[in-house]
Chains A and B, each alone.
Chain A
């Protein structure tokens, strides 16, 4: 019901505003009865209220507004002239609407006010267009109307509820004003940073205290203003269900559209910026992704395709996933089309990984459609999506399995104006790197450099755990240092590991200084053409620093385009599964062993207090988000912990680290001893047997949550099936 209440709330706020305007308009009309535009505006308002009231099942309101509308239509068209009785009747209607709305707001119902007389009067005014000049029509209207329509108002007073009307407790604000506020807060943050820097070197206690207070207030103000700009992402995909339906019907497909996390909040500017891309992706998914019902049935799938749109927060970013269970993207087909459209050559394709080929759909001019339809096929599309997403500092990832479906993942920053950044030094100047692209920092001492940094011809690479990380020297990219060669002495290396699109590279800087919240300011025309700068900002000491554009940097250094250079190395590392996309693994400790769980099967990580665990049907359960979910442990670890805590009463408040698994109707908590890490590694193909691997120098066992959970739920708690079946679904 929450959604419905929200709709009513919005309707009320909007209608109150419109009614106030209506009063003004009607009064003004009495002076200038022939002002068509005003009548048209009144008509629209009444029409809107009528339409919404029908939708919200408010029959009385609908009836009143309906007759009002019938009266307004000839007025608007000039068939009827506005006169006193008509104006009175209309004003009375406005009062009646207001009365009904107030009742709706208080009780959720229209109340028992009787509006028959008003309806009659409105109809009468319509039937007797000339009656306007007759004076005796007027008195009953004037006398009766307040008595009738003030009934709801009286009730308001009588009940004496001090509750604030919705219209009083919320206001509408111009987005431009919010933008200005945000800019001012940005300036304040800069000034704050400066003052903190100054007070840091002074011994003046009151000064330090004052600057600390300023710091706190600024942070809170910043948070508050940011919050005003936050909107649920629902607003970006409100129009999608309808579009999905129309498109599906148009293509002769059956599509079920589901959304998750539509309350995820995101900055207004970002919201506006992703509307277009989302629409486009959904179009593509329906047009290209989901198959016709017959084809689906033939493949053993349900005839309904599913399109799932999911939004959630992760690490200071918003992630929006659009996944379909359609045909998936066929790299062969893509490659063929890309060669036909002369985007790439056959030789280039031969050197590409499957993933690179799929990414070709993001190239300008790419289209797989054989003919142009009104849905897609014009060859502008995914590249625009990519550009738009990147323009707001986001990134786009495609994962696709033939016959299983495609998932598009958009990562976007929460807000654009103030971002956390890492400050580095290179060639004597400071640069800021947006933390959104930052993965980790690595420092290599001079005596280890030779061991871990190697060269592939002239390209330095670093062995970071099990992968080869191409190294990019910032000073070289800035043209401040000549290109380093194989035998050059590299000295100590400070490596900032960055992610650009789906590739990682290490940016070597002279010094890593600090992290700071920075305000992104645009740079002037001359500098916009340089791809490696995203903007500039003002530092605490008042100096200007440039903000590096990580994707631009990656492009310029060739990390993105010359990917096939490193392909040989890739193959060497995971020779069993070439060309597979990386996956994230959750590393946990349980009963003295290390285990890895696919992050994609994990819904959430939670901590429950042991005292919250209850017993039901011989099983440990816990209340979680309004439902009861069973808890299972890996290898009986849970029983030991809970029983153990029974004997030692002091530990009842200890926390259970729980991995929440959510699949269809099943929500299950898997209790582990400790959450260790989340790592990325190349995906293991289907059919690969369950395995153990050395991760972080520990033997780690792979666990398939789904089979574990199924086994546990079917009563077989000791089942080890999960360890043997590490399969992608």
Chain B
């Protein structure tokens, strides 16, 4: 019973963050993001949407599934749909063009060791995002927030909230629900 108010509080806070981000990005408040890297870009997802980060596990292929669905995993008795963020964000094309990464022939093996799964909650579903590398949890203030410029590809941009200007790089904020529904 004691623990119960906590999630309520968390989700209220979450709504607050959303509001802050959607309506008045200038308002000063601190937010925490779980960060990870895909194909050289750094992305973030609100910390309270992330359930856990796990290593890649055996995945069952789902024929006919939309592009980006890697398969289904068993996470302690729950079935989790694994999405390949690289495909979802349309980075595959970029990746193939880049000459330096000739490991494209065997991407599974090359990344299998480093690849991680970020398990996020979306409604009642659990979704696992396959990423190349996991980063720290970073706290940012709303000062550094910018919306995604229109020049970003419309497909991938629809999955992004916006970007935070960190000192050394940009942190692209993913919209967890839109990723889950894509």
Q: Interface of A with B (CB < 8 Å)?
A: 187, 190-191, 427-429, 478-480, 521-527, 530, 532-533, 536, 538, 542-546
Contact = CB atoms under 8 A, between A and B. Distances in A.
Contacts of B62: 527, 530, 533, 546
B63 A190 contact: no
A542 B74 contact: yes
Given A525-B180, A543-B58, A536 B64 contact: no
Interface string B71-101: 1111001111101000000000000000000
B66 A526 contact: yes
A190 B58 contact: no
Contacts of B73: 544
7 contacts: A187-B77, A525-B181, A526-B182, A527-B62, A527-B81, A544-B60, A546-B62
Contacts of B63: 427, 429, 478-480
Given A523-B72, A525-B180, A190 B64 contact: no
Interface of B: 58-66, 69, 71-74, 77-81, 83, 125-127, 180-182
Given A479-B64, A525-B180, A526-B66, A536 B58 contact: no
B65 A544 contact: no
B125 A536 contact: no
A524 B60 contact: no
Contacts of B59: 544
Given A429-B60, A536-B72, A544-B74, A526 B79 contact: no
Contacts of B180: 524-525
A521 B71 CA distance: 15
A191 B60 CA distance: 19
Contacts of B69: 526-527
A39 to B, nearest CB: 32
B45 to A, nearest CB: 17
B79 A543 contact: no
Contact of B127 (A478, A522, A524, A545): A524
A427 B125 CA distance: 27
Given A523-B81, A536-B79, A530 B74 contact: no
A406 B61 CA distance: 46
Contacts of A187: 77
Nearest to B124: A522
Contacts of A532: 64
B79 A538 contact: yes
A542 B75 CA distance: 9
A525 to B, nearest CB: 6
A480 B77 CA distance: 28
A521 B79 contact: yes
Contacts of A190: 77
Contacts of B74: 538, 542-544
A479 B181 CA distance: 23
Nearest to B125: A524
A526 B182 CA distance: 7
A546 B64 CA distance: 12
A613 B77 CA distance: 55
Given A538-B74, A544-B72, A544-B73, A523 B79 contact: yes
Nearest to B69: A526
A525 B77 contact: no
Nearest to A536: B79
